[in-house]
Amino acid sequence: MSNPTIDQLYQDLISGDRSALSRSITLIESKSDKHIASAGELLNRCLNTSGNSIRIGITGSPGVGKSTFINAFGHYLIQQHNKRVAVLAIDPSSTLTGGSILGDKTRMADLASSEHAFVRPSPSGGDLGGVAAGTRESILLCEAAGFDVILIETVGVGQSEIAVYDMVDLFLLLIQPGSGDDLQGIKRGIMEMADVIVVNKSDGSLESNAKETAGFYAQAVGFIHPQRPNWKIDVQRVSSVTGEGLEKLWQTMVRFEDGQQQNGDWQANRSRQNQRWFQYHLEQELLRRIRTSEHVKNQASEMEKPVEMGEVHPLMAARKVADDFFNRG
Ligand SMILES: Nc1nc2c(ncn2[C@@H]2O[C@H](COP(=O)(O)OP(=O)(O)OP(=O)(O)O)[C@@H](O)[C@H]2O)c(=O)[nH]1
Ligand SMILES: [Mg+2]
């Protein structure tokens, strides 16, 4: 049975209305049971209208210029290629530092003020899984609203890069111009995940440093076994201030998409991501239902005392509660 509120929201969403997109994202981020049902209905509707975008993940150390780059690149795509650009962010550190969100508001001001862009500030709080879950679904909603380039910013902390890698078509690592002879603490694993490595801030007095750094990375990637079949990690330089290099970068992305589409890797990658996403949600859903079961709550509270007193080993206690749950009549 269809829900009239969701019908209207869906119609507004596919007409490209950005406030409907905002409301849709808020709905799918909600934890309330009532909203979860409506969100599911909305997402199901969107399956037919989503998928037509290039999903680009952007990572790099704090201060490398991710937000400035996204602002410049997004602006360039809108101006030069008539694109509609959505920006989503995963920033698990924002609750600790409190700084990123404020900074992003000013650094992405150009983009945020364009009617062809949609910028969703970093969600704060919550576990990474939860944040990432919302982001994955937000991509679909942005696509349903007609955005054809989705940029997802994440900061180089813990699991967030892996989470983003698993929801994008192309993963971009931004690098700071440096001495050129060290890896700036960029973990090898992150380099291996990158499809394109971009040395940012290639302008003014930093330009020669940037060239040196790019040369160094171009050599280093020669020793890396690429993650994707049929694609060699590409190293480039840009300036997010002057716009130098953005055109070449976009051409590279187009070449990446064309190649992957032609040999079927593009769709294969998305299908694998959907599979893993299904597994993730399945585990979360099972865990949530088991945790909230009255039976488990009662059994667990009965075991608390003996565990505290050292009469039952915690592992045995946990197994007993689980056995009772699965074997109950
Ligand atoms: N010269 C120059 N400076 C840049 C460039 N890109 C960014 N910056 C500067 O680098 C600093 C950090 O930029 P941000 O865009 O906030 O970096 P970020 O990676 O988003 O930082 P976090 O979100 O805190 O991780 C700012 O002072 C920018 O003005 C560039 O291409 N050239
Ligand atoms: Mg930033």
The whole-number pLDDT of residue 97 equals 45
The structural domains of the chain, ordered by start, are 1-49 (1.20.5.170), 51-263 (3.40.50.300), 293-327 (no CATH)
| Spatial contact of 196 and 249, defined as CB atoms under 8 Å apart | yes
Q: Report CA torsion sign: 92, 156, 210, 221.
A: negative
Q: How close is the Cα of 246 to the center of ligand 2, in Å?
A: 18
pLDDT given for residue 99 in this prediction: 45
- Average confidence (pLDDT) over 206-211: 95
Average pLDDT of 234-250?
Answer: 97
User: If we measure between CA atoms, which residue out of 230, 231, 238 comes closest to residue 211?
Assistant: 238
Contact 35, 67 (CB under 8 A): no
CB 84 within 8 A of CB 147: yes
CA distance 260 to 8: 36
Higher pLDDT, 157 or 130: 157
> Using N-to-C axis directions, what is the helix angle for 18-29 and 128-144, rounded to 10°?
150
Which position has the token pair 């953005």? 246
**Separation between Cα atoms, residue 212 and residue 178, nearest integer Å:** 8
The β-bridge partners of 118 are 86
* Residue 273, CA atoms < 13 Å, CB-side half-sphere: 20
- Which residues are placed with Cβ below 5 angstroms of ligand 2, an ion? 66-67
pLDDT attached to residue 95: 47
- Would you call 87 exposed, middle or buried from its count of C-beta atoms within 10 A (0-12, 13-18, 19+)? buried
301-326 per-position pLDDT tens digit: 999 999 999 999 999 999 999 999 99
List the residue whose alpha carbon is closest to atom 5 of ligand 1.
201
Q: What is the pLDDT of residue 103?
A: 53
Residue 50 has pLDDT above 60, yes or no: yes
Q: Which residues line ligand 1 (CB under 6 A)?
A: 60, 62-68, 100, 103, 107, 155, 200-201, 203, 206, 239-241
The region, left, alpha or beta by phi > 0 then psi within -120 to 50, assigned to residue 233 is beta
How far is the C-alpha of 317 from the C-alpha of 329, rounded, in Å? Answer: 20
Tokens, residue 54: 């290039």
State which of 58, 59, 64, 68 you would mutate to test the pocket of ligand 1, scoring each by most atoms of that ligand within 8 A of its C-beta: 68
pTM of structure: 0.88
Question: How many angstroms is it from 140 CA to the middle of ligand 2?
Answer: 23
Q: Name the closest-CA residue to atom 23, ligand 1.
A: 100
pLDDT exceeds cutoff 80 at 329? no
Given the DSSP bridges, would you call strands 85-90 and 117-119 parallel, antiparallel or unpaired? Answer: parallel
Ligand 1 atom 17 nearest Cα: 65
**Ligand with the closest atom to the CA of 104:** 2
Q: Please state, in angstroms and rounded to a whole number, the distance separating the CA atoms of residues 86 and 224.
A: 31
Q: Hey, whose CA ends up nearest to atom 28 of ligand 1?
A: 65
- Ligand 1 atom closest to Cα of residue 200: 31
Tens digit of pLDDT for each residue in 91-132? 655 444 444 444 566 677 778 889 999 998 755 444 554 456
Q: Mean pLDDT highest for which of 57-66, 176-185, 196-205? A: 196-205
Structure tokens at 320: 């007993």
As a whole number, mean pLDDT of residues 57-84 equals: 94
Extended beta strands in 205-274, E state:
234-237
What is the rounded CA–CA span in Å between residue 237 and residue 245?
Answer: 6
